[in-house]
Structure 1
Amino acid sequence: MKKFINVPDSLLEDSLKGFAKAHADIVELNLQPHFIKRLQPAKPGKVVLISGGGSGHEPLHSGFVGLGMLDAVCPGQIFTSPTPDQMLAAAQAVDQGAGVLFIVKNYAGDVMNFEIAAEMFEAPNATVLVNDDVSLPKTHSIGRRGVAGTLIVEKMVGAAAEAGADLAACKALGDRVNEATASIGVALTSCTVPALGKPTFELGENEMEMGVGIHGERGRETVPLQSASEIVEQLAHAIDEELNPQPGQSVLLHVNGFGGTPLIELHLLYQLAAQHWEKRGLKIARSLVGNFTTSLDMAGASLTLTMLDEELIRLWDAPVNTAALRWGC
């Protein structure tokens, strides 16, 4: 294992300190317990948004703290849920009297710990559960995972909260965006968790893993390596089966890298995916390409499609000022 690291046990805290120092104009780090919050607090009466999860997915979630998105995030150890005391402390630190909306990816540890924190927090709160990963069936025992679509939920709900939407409206919007979003990913390699020191699974030179999550776990099947065009067609077909977009529909197309895939390849995937949906009469109204919801150093990518209307386009376009997304400010 070759990584820029001192010891695995100190990696998270050292990285968080570096992140907070690099973006000291936007965020502030609390060390005990760990959470990151907006440097400039939200205005009184604003619904505040809190998310989080295991580290290793950067810039999700810390990179999305700031104006127009999240008010605080709770980072756990690599691929490990944060604890309820982190979530409670973050909620108490940023609450502005209008309630707290927790945005939670559908993983068992995250769901359980955010539920505990919500019960402990003695103020109005609600939860949006993100489960956009269509590589798993809806009937899966623990439900579908929350993956790259989480960013889209956080951006749109963050814009609504910044504009003054109340807690019920933010919750309803988050659920609506989640329902309008589908994602699926493919990996060419596994990732290496520093504490483990070796890849979490092995793939042959001519193999790829279809339907992976974002925690270094295997996908739904190991298949022969294919061309980029063939890969995109498989991923897009799974999304089409889920969303059934009709000609004339406006969509947001997000091509997300898992950390080890260069932009030259991600933009190729975007070109192929855009061609797929434009041939079917869809309008690619908005786009996002890059490494945003990663799995450490995994080589791979995911496609995310969100069906848009005029309100969602306006919310996506609204000003945002975070470490990883910044426009309109």
Structure 2
Amino acid sequence: MRRSIINDPDDLIPQALEGLVLSHPTLLELNAEHRFLTRKQPARDKVGLVSGGGSGHEPLHAGFVGTGMLDVAVAGAVFASPTALQVLEATKAADSGRGVVQIVKNYTGDVLNFRIAGEITGDDAIETEMVLVDDDLATDTEDDEGPGRRGTAATVIVEKVCGAAAEAGASLQEVAEIGRRAAASARTMSLALTAGTHPGDGQPQFELEADEIELGVGIHGERAAQRASFADADGLTDLLLDPLLEELGLARGDEVIAIVNSLGSTYPLELNVVARALHHRLGDAGIEISRSLVGPYVTSLDMHGVSITLMPLDDQLRSLWDAPVRTPALTW
């Protein structure tokens, strides 16, 4: 039986948003009616950035509102898209006169509601561009009619580089193009040892045998297309890294950003052992991890699992990644 530290499940999202704002009063402001967060001091004369989606993935997206990243983050219910009305109001709040880039994870509800909001804001003379993040290698199929790859932890990279470009004064089209280029080149693989549990529910979303892992799990607890045998940390890292290296075609001398991401309950000791394996494996291949994050950045409630994201770096993307940022969850 899984217990949660909550009051009424129906109040979980608004109370959590309020708590985040109270904890960062100089950075954030809450629009309680439409459940979105904005910068405490709105930016002026720059391209606006808005993102969002279902809750349960914290610190994504609310934790990345601030200088150098998002202007607005809009929150749906747990694992459910915000409504088109929420996104519409959030997009209006992000606009300072130079248009708004919507950064959207590739899930049907998110894409639909952000697209509707973008069409409506056009009636209000707010120009928008959508950047779709679709980095999940486990859902890369040849079905052109399907929804395509899911959006996962590469969203953090896209929000960061787009945010830096917008702060530097780039145009709407330039910011969107940078985001699309980053999204197109990043890939992620995930695995889970145990599933997450919805707040207020007593049972996890799926069960695994003691010697099994879910390989290619989604951040909403979606079952993977395959299961694999449990292994030690080095072996689990290889299960994630092998398909990433094959897909990206990295060669000796290449540089990458790497994110070793907790899916919820994976603790820092475990993550750092995976990071160690990743550094050694890529180092032996002559591939440099020149920038990295290790920690919980895109979670799936309390899922005990890990994801690895890799994105090749060039001079422009490195400069945008290194640009100053100040948000509750990412600051340098």
The one-letter code of the counterpart of 1:32 is E
Q: Is the 8 A contact 2:3 2:200 kept in 1?
A: no
Map of 1:262 onto structure 2: 267
Cα 1:118–1:143 change in 2 (3 A) is same
1:303 maps to 2:304: no
Map of 1:317 onto structure 2: 322
Match of 2:297 among 267, 284, 292: 292
- The Cα of 1:147 is off from its aligned counterpart by 0.2
Could you tell which deviates more after superposition, 216-225 or 150-159?
216-225
Map of 1:129 onto structure 2: 132
Q: What CA distance in whole angstroms lies between the structure 2 residues aligned with 1:116 and 1:20?
A: 28
Q: What CA distance in whole angstroms lies between the structure 1 residues aligned with 2:20 and 2:152?
A: 22
- The Cα of 1:16 is off from its aligned counterpart by 0.8
C-alpha RMSD of the superposition: 0.9
Q: What CA distance in whole angstroms lies between the structure 2 residues aligned with 1:220 and 1:299?
A: 18
Q: Which runs of structure 2 are paired with 1:1-150 in the superposition (5 Å)?
A: 1-44=2-45, 46-122=46-122, 123-140=126-143, 141-150=146-155
The one-letter code of the counterpart of 1:14 is Q
Gapped regions of structure 2 (runs ≥ 5)? none
In the TM superposition, structure 1's runs of 4+ consecutive aligned residues that sit over 4 Å from their partners are none
C-alpha distance after superposition, 1:222-244 (max 9, x if no partner): 22211111111121111112110
C-alpha distance after superposition, 1:162-196 (max 9, x if no partner): 00000110111011101121100000000000244
Q: What CA distance in whole angstroms lies between the structure 2 residues aligned with 1:27 and 1:266?
A: 29
Secondary structure of the residue aligned to 1:320 is coil
The one-letter code of the counterpart of 1:73 is A
- The Cα of 1:55 is off from its aligned counterpart by 0.2
Q: What CA distance in whole angstroms lies between the structure 1 residues aligned with 2:194 and 2:250?
A: 31
Q: What CA distance in whole angstroms lies between the structure 2 residues aligned with 1:232 and 1:280?
A: 15
Q: What CA distance in whole angstroms lies between the structure 2 residues aligned with 1:239 and 1:41?
A: 38
Q: What CA distance in whole angstroms lies between the structure 1 residues aligned with 2:142 and 2:163?
A: 30
Secondary structure of the residue aligned to 1:101 is strand
The one-letter code of the counterpart of 2:312 is M
Secondary structure of the residue aligned to 1:326 is coil
Secondary structure of the residue aligned to 2:194 is coil
- The Cα of 1:6 is off from its aligned counterpart by 1.3
Counting aligned pairs with the same residue, the percent is: 47
Gapped regions of structure 1 (runs ≥ 5)? none
The one-letter code of the counterpart of 1:28 is E
Secondary structure of the residue aligned to 1:129 is strand
Instruction: Tell me the TM-score normalised to structure 2 length.
Output: 0.96
Instruction: Tell me the TM-score normalised to structure 1 length.
Output: 0.97
The one-letter code of the counterpart of 1:126 is E
The one-letter code of the counterpart of 1:137 is D
Q: What CA distance in whole angstroms lies between the structure 2 residues aligned with 1:199 and 1:179?
A: 33
